[in-house]
Structure 1
Amino acid sequence: MNKAIPMPHNHSFPIFSEQHDNDFNTTYTANTSVQTTDHPHYTHFVYIWSVLFSLILLSNGSLLYLLITRRHLITSFTIYLFSILVANVLCWCVCMLPLEMVYLVSDNWWMGETACDLYLYGNWLLPGVITSSHALISITRIWAVIRPHSYRNVHTPRLAMALCAGVWISVHLFCLPLLVMDRSFFRQPTSGCRLNLTAQLWSEAYLTVIFYVADAIILLSFPLITYKTIQNSQQHAKLVSPEGGKAPLHYRSKSLVALTAMSVSIAVIWAPNHVVSIVTKYHRAELPDAVWQLLWVVYPLQAVVDPVLFALCLASIRCEVKRLVVKTKAAIYDHVKSVQMRTTTRVSTEIYSVSHQQKRFQVDYSM
């Protein structure tokens, strides 16, 4: 008699990759057969993720279009934004959400090893790029407030591109061995599509450095950057007004506003997920199923919040977004008006044709 051993059906993101596996009712028997029970209460994620997919593609795609077509928007700061937007689209719209929804609905992985590699690439590597890019912004802001003259002289768009490329390359060098070794030696064909973490201790180092340390850099650097920015503004006020006094209200750092919004979003959206991951992992605590479901919804929300916050905080991008919205509305209005005119013309032609035929019929009948 085969004994049923619980086997997780892993619909997960890397920060809580093993802790919630038992939420899904899939069993693995000793003869390697997979028995899956239905869990229709999870299918609502398909609708939620479909909405998130549309919002992520619309918000990130719109800003990418503006940054590509409006060359004057390219600055050393918006290059970091461009890197995050590209990673958001690749992660959530190409690799993660479409495959995740199919995986959830079908309740088993049937799309093959290549699709599984793409799924794990989006599940593990690209979120690391996004997190590290946010940490890179915080590090450059520390540089800007502590050594402002050096920052202005050295930090060029070319250096920003090199730093972003360094983030992408370093995360690939850190994570690709995990994916390659898993594909070559450790992947279990009966476990669907999931990374075999227990076979690779390197995964612990990856999670710690790329996710937990990056979060710490973002959150802990914010008070320092705020303090130094206020101090620099006060020094600026003394230079402008030798009598001293408070900093002028118009002297504000646009990058600080964007960084403030980013730090708040990280604290609200990402940090709770990582804290829950650490607590459940090291203290073996079991959380209610509703908590995991909430985390699955909240985590992709960061990809929607990022472009919205940057668009609201950066005046140049905000103006271009307004112009794009107005232009799009005008194009839609012109298209609708053109369709209405064609429809009116066609209806008028048909009415005239019917009326002409009726007159001919009356003339023929009278004769």
Structure 2
Amino acid sequence: MEILVIVLNGALLIILTTSYSLRISTFHVYVVNVTLANFLHAILVDPFSIITDIHGGVWIFSYAVCSFYQFSLWILSAAMQNAHALITLNRLWAIIFPIHYRQTHRRTTAVLLCIGMWICILIILLPGMIPDATYYRLLMDRDVCRVNSAGQVDWSITSHFLAYGLAEFIIVIAYPFIVYAHCRRKKTTGTSAPTTRALPSATAAGQLPSQNKTRSSKRLHILTLLTVSVFICWTPGSVVYSILPFRNIDIPLFADLLFAFQAALDPVLFMVTLPELRQSARRLCCRGSVHPGA
């Protein structure tokens, strides 16, 4: 599964960053954010998890490596989840405040929001991760590499909600509002079509109302698939991790597998629902298959 995550997310990153024919839109920035978090988690966290599982849960590396592993695990897991929440919030903003969204949301805005997400994760997690590495985890068995959540119960409860649980809560709760606003906006636009034709300034620069409607429907399609898959793949792990502040328990294998499956599913969903990515992938493949001497 981890190899699949690396290959799929790595391939999508290559398409997004090297395809000259692909015009990077603001939404593509959020796609890069999700894909990058998935890829970094797969190469920095998953190898240690696999080796530890092979050795029956016994940590065979040094204490310093354990600290690196835990920092990477907590920060990148939170990034994976909050990157999805950022897409949901982006769609909520676009569908509820469309004019304000088109006037203020630019590629730079999307980049800054993604950077802000990473900074917020660090602000939430580091105040507990640093004391854990320097004191609380030293009280535990060295054969196990795990954050001593019981040693910082207040921080553990707060961080689990703010860095992890809140992301899934936003994704699930915001989705019905987005669908309702989308259907209402679509109905309103349909009944007032003659009026909107006389107001081209209400659309984004260089885009027709029909193009905006098609793009909005496409984004909702993506959001629907992501919301359903996230709810299925993340909920078991969220329930288990909510118990950790009160009791150190082993994480069930199926919860980790579902979480990893979502990371492998993300690039597939983006490729299936975004035709411009498929077109760029075809161009890259065709360009790579052309013989230099042809």
Q: Based on CA coordinates, which of the two structures has the bigger radius of gyration?
A: 1
The CA distance in 1 between the partners of 2:6 and 2:240, in whole Å, is 28
Residue 59 of structure 1 pairs with residue 8 of structure 2? yes
Render the CA deviation track for 1:7-31: whole Å, top value 9, x for unaligned: xxxxxxxxxxxxxxxxxxxxxxxxx
Q: Per the alignment, do residues 158 and 282 of structure 1 end up closer, same or farther by CA in structure 2, a change over 3 Å counting?
A: closer
Give the conservation status (yes or no) of the 8 Å contact 1:64–1:85. yes
Structure 1 residue 300 corresponds to structure 2 residue 249 = no
Residue 281 of structure 1 deviates from its aligned partner by: 6.5
The 4+ residue runs of structure 1 with deviation greater than 4 A are: 280-284, 325-328
- Native 8 Å contact 2:30 2:87 kept in 1: yes
Partner residue of 2:160? Answer: 207
AA in 2 matched with 1:239: S
TM-fit CA distance, 1:317: 0.9
**Match for residue 45 of structure 1?**
none
The answer as to 2:103 corresponding to 1:103 is no
Contact kept in structure 2, 1:131 and 1:215, CA below 8 Å: yes
1:262 to 208, 222, 226: 226
* Aligned residue number for residue 143 of structure 1: 93
Q: Is the contact made by 1:60 and 1:307 (CA closer than 8 Å) also made in structure 2? A: yes
After the TM superposition, which residues 22-33 of structure 1 pair with which residues of structure 2 at under 5 Å, given as runs?
none
Question: Shift of the alpha carbon at 1:93?
Answer: 1.8
Q: 1:283: Cα distance to partner?
A: 11
Contact 2:237 2:256 in 1 (8 A): no
1:314 aligns with 2:280: no
Structure 1 match to 2:193: 240
Instruction: Give the structure-2-normalised TM-score.
Output: 0.83
Deviation at 1:177, TM superposition (A): 2.2
Secondary structure, aligned partner of 1:257: helix
d(CA) in 2 for partners of 1:81, 1:130: 11
For structure 1, list consecutive stretches of 5 or more residues without a partner in the other structure.
1-51, 243-247, 336-367
Structure 2 equivalent of residue 30 of structure 1 = none
- The one-character-per-residue Cα deviations of 1:249-307 (angstroms, maximum 9, x if unpaired) are x94322111111110111111123323554x67999x9xx9x92322211111110111
Post-superposition shift, 1:57? Answer: 1.1
Q: CA RMSD in A?
A: 2.7
Counterpart selection for 1:80 from 30, 42, 45? 30
AA of the residue aligned to 2:181: K
Partner of 1:25: none
2:91–2:178 contact (8 Å) kept in structure 1: yes
Aligned residue number for residue 27 of structure 1: none
The answer (yes or no) to whether the contact 1:73–1:317 under 8 Å persists in 2 is no
Q: Is contact 1:311-1:321 (8 Å) kept?
A: no
From 146, 170, 174, give the equivalent of 1:194: 146
The normalised TM-score by structure 1 is 0.68
Contact 1:258 1:313 in 2 (8 A): yes
Which structure is richer in relative contact order (CA contacts within 8 A, separation 6 or more)? 2
